[in-house]
């Protein structure tokens, strides 16, 4: 996540994939501190990513490709946040089965 942040010079609220990744990482860290079983920790992390992804809808993109749309990006879910969520969801489903 930190590498993504540095490379794109993005911060939470810029309407980027970080808006899904940051809550996912925070949820996973919290779950680990609580000794939550892995399957549940992954589920909580993916759920936090989903909520972060959905929270990008009202934002105006300030970084990334969507920033070219400016105000027109408001009202649309960020594609980077969406793809980040989908990757985490797929990983959760795969690793929870093992």
Total domain count, the chain: 1
Q: Which two tokens stand for residue 95?
A: 């690793």
**Which of left, alpha, beta for 59 (phi over 0: left; psi -120 to 50: alpha)?**
beta
List pLDDT tens digits, range 5-41: 888 889 999 999 999 999 999 999 999 999 999 999 9
Question: Is residue 41 a part of any domain in this protein?
Answer: yes
Question: Is residue 6 a part of any domain in this protein?
Answer: no
User: What is residue 70's predicted lDDT score, i.e. its pLDDT?
Assistant: 87
pTM of the full structure: 0.90
Under 8 Å between Cβ of 96 and 46: no
Model confidence at 59, pLDDT cuts 50, 70, 90, reads very high
**Structural domain boundaries enclosing 68:** 13-93
65 vs 42, more confident: 42
Question: Is residue 79 a part of any domain in this protein?
Answer: yes
In 10 A of CB 54, how many CB atoms?
16
């Amino acid at each position: 996540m930190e590498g993504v942040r540095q490379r794109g010079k993005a911060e939470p609220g810029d309407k980027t994939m970080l808006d899904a990744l940051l809550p996912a990482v925070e949820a996973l860290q919290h779950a680990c501190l609580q000794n939550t079983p892995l399957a549940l920790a992954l589920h909580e992390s993916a759920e936090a990513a989903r909520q972060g992804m959905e929270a990008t809808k009202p934002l105006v993109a300030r970084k990334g490709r969507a920033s070219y749309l400016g105000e027109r990006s408001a009202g649309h879910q960020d594609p980077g946040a969406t793809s980040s969520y989908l990757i985490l969801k797929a990983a959760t489903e795969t690793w929870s089965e093992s």
